[in-house]
Amino acid sequence: FSFVRGLMGKIEESAIKDLKELENLKRELEKNPAAKIASHDISYYSERLKKKKFDFTSEKAREYFPFEKVLEGTFEIYSKLFSVRFEKLKGYPVWHKDVEVFAVKNRSGGIISYIMFDLYPRENKYGHACVEMLVPGRSESFGAKSPYIAPVGLMITNFPKPRSGYVSLLNHGEVETFFHEFGHLMHVALTKARYASQSGYSVKWDFAEAPSQMLEHWVWDKKILKLLSKHYETGEPMPENMVVNMLKAKNHMEHYANLRQLVLALFDLLIHKGIPPKDVAKFYNSLVLKHTGIRMPRNAIFPAGFGHLMGYDAGYYGYMWSKIYAVDMWSRFEKEGLLNAKTGADYRKWILEKGSSMEEMDLVRNFLGRKPDNKAFLKEIGVIPNSKV
């Protein structure tokens, strides 16, 4: 509670300014000085404001992110970082023709694990993005020379599906989502934990997102973007001015986005604290109004679709909590190089391989070579670097 409320107090004012910018744009475009920003306006006007301020739109960038190129670049990046190879398998039994399977191999050709992709929407499919640990890595027996069961990880997304004459094109946000989920996938695929209960992302709940959140940073680097992008028709690289404008837009509406996460975290904590209010939808709407000034539609029932309430159980704050460690770990790559194999090897050894076979705080400390702190995190979200939460 002190973490969530303390951080809300530091960014609330800036988040309200973000929303005020959207409201001013709405008033300008509608020629209505009394217009108010509504919850369903935010995404639309956020995109319009991004175009106005940075001359950048997510849809224009989509032309430069055909999924096959994104996947090829991702494999190249992780091959360099973690000294592995990815090999597509054919004839592997799967539940749908769209599902693809890859073996993850070490440099000598030995199979470490398997990863699977179920990337495109279809009827009755899960609608979010996630990674599942289908087979946890583990020792087969208690013997010192026990064979290790190769883990199997599955990524589920709903990216645009390629069809006759069309390729699958991702916007930059979807590329970031892919990297986030790929971080979870590597947590599963590169584990060496002895026990299934400590394998892969079976870590403390408020650390589980840190490895994937850290790897999102790669898609905001000029050199990395060149590995991930090319025009789907011409093969030309993304124009320099588009790259520059996209990077300038990185923190667009960031304060509001973080405040929204914190409102969700506070809501999750409060309804699990004791006896929840009878009308949880009305209670959620009141929190949104109090902290953002946004009045939700009277009959809105957002909690009915808030899937993370089930399973997280007062743990949704972990998304922001783990981001502290994610950004702190990223600071080492930022300093030593995004494709630095030595840094990648240390990250693999201390963060990805161990699972929860050691205390998570010790893993981060060993990777960083120091006690973790929140300075990089506070800087990234626009809070004074010296302040403490």
Which residues are tagged catalytic?
A: 181
- 310 CB-side CA count, 13 A: 5
Q: Is 142 exposed, middle or buried (0-12, 13-18, 19+ CB in 10 A)?
A: exposed
Strands (DSSP E) along 165-324, which ranges? none
Q: Cα separation of 220 and 47, whole Å? A: 18
Q: Cα separation of 116 and 95, whole Å? A: 11
374 token code pair: 């929140």
Q: Cα separation of 95 and 156, whole Å? A: 13
**Cβ atoms 77, 227 nearer than 8 A:** yes
Q: How is residue 115 annotated by DSSP? A: E
Strands (DSSP E) along 148-250, which ranges? 148-149, 152-156
Give residue 29's identity as a one-letter amino acid code. L
**Cβ atoms 336, 284 nearer than 8 A:** no
**Residues recorded for the chain:** 389
237 token code pair: 């690289």
Closest Cα partner for 1 from 266, 324, 267?
266
Strands (DSSP E) along 119-273, which ranges? 130-135, 138-139, 148-149, 152-156
**Cβ atoms 323, 257 nearer than 8 A:** no
